[in-house]
Amino acid sequence: MSRSSSRALLALTFILIAGGLLVLNLGGYLQAAEGMALRPLGALQGWLSQRVTAIQTLLTSPTDLATLRAENLRLEAEVARLERELIAVREQAAEAEVLAGLLGYARTRPESRYVAARVIGQDISPFIRSVWIDRGSDGGLQQGMPVVTERGLVGRVAEVYSTIARIQLITDPQSSVNVRLQSSRADGALQAQLNGELWVEAIDQSASVTPGELVLTSGLGGAFPSDIPVGQILTVRKRDYELFQQAVVQPSADVENLLVVLVITNFQPLAPPGAP
């Protein structure tokens, strides 16, 4: 057998083995093995990610202004808290208008419980937008749980292993979030493009959507709790001959530079991940 044909045979063998692994994985038979392999890889990811973040911080911030940085962080957190309060107040006002006829009814929402997790790595495939966090099923995480930062929605838990989990970001093209526009009360579906751009699709043509309007989760479909800030409308595309209008959204959370996220652990999603 010539050298080139033996190489072709070797390549074919590896590809067939990989194909076999693919089939086994689709059947769910490799879950335990994946979990075992990811344990040391996740630990290594966490270790390296901490060092990289420390070096990045060292390079990008003035070293002699530690107090100023701490103060700045405190003020940023304060601004974020006030923004959230403002959003909540506006949302309550809009809802009060809609629910004016239902006197005596007060909408109650259970307090969310959170698990904080550090982002330790990003998805290796450039076609998939997801991040790895350093908490898994040992920390009470389950598939489908919503993930937020203090600024708004980030995504949801897509895969869970014992010590790490993968978060599908809202900027992943496969992600879909049912949203509501705060002022116009129009519903839509948030979809991402491959370049990370977010679009709200399927907005009713009659809705009066304006740039700057806040986009919140609607809770429809049961995949996410309602009223989590998602972003703000940047531009609106409305054409008379189309059934729906679309809008480009600037996400509230900086999903490209996540360091720490909060997983909402007391919300049970109704729809499986990936479903709108």
Q: Which residues contact another protein (rule: CB under 8 A)? A: 4, 7-8, 10-11, 14-15, 17-19, 21-22, 25-26, 30, 34, 37-38, 41, 44-45, 48-49, 52, 56, 120-128, 130, 132, 158-159, 166, 168, 172-174, 193-196
CB of 158 to another protein, least distance (A): 6
Q: Residue 17 or 86: which CB sits closer to another protein?
A: 17
Give the integer Cα–Cα distance in Å for 110 and 112: 6
Q: Where would I find the beta strands (DSSP E) of the chain?
A: 114-122, 130-133, 146-149, 152-160, 165-169, 176-181, 187-192, 198-204, 214-217, 229-237, 244-251, 260-264
Alpha carbons 156 and 164: distance in angstroms, whole number: 14
Closest distance to another protein from the beta carbon of 259 (Å): 11
**Nearer Cβ to another protein (50/92):** 50
Which of residues 192 and 223 has its CB atom nearest to another protein in the complex?
192
Two tokens, residue 203: 């907005």
Q: How far is the CB of 44 from another protein (least distance, A)?
A: 5
Distances (CA, A) of 61 to 47, 119, 252, 271: 21, 20, 23, 42
**CB nearer to another protein: pick between 22 and 86:** 22
Q: Which is nearer to another protein, 37 or 102 (CB)?
A: 37
CB of 145 to another protein, least distance (A): 16
Alpha-carbon gap, residue 167 to 112, rounded angstroms: 19
Say how far apart CA 133 and CA 166 lie, in whole Å.
6
Please state, in angstroms and rounded to a whole number, the distance separating the CA atoms of residues 227 and 219.
7
Q: For 138, phi and psi rounded to 5 degrees?
A: -60, -30
Shortest separation between residue 214's beta carbon and another protein, angstroms: 26
Q: Is 156 exposed, middle or buried (0-12, 13-18, 19+ CB in 10 A)?
A: buried
Closer CB to another protein, 45 or 182, in the complex:
45
Q: How far is the CB of 72 from another protein (least distance, A)?
A: 22
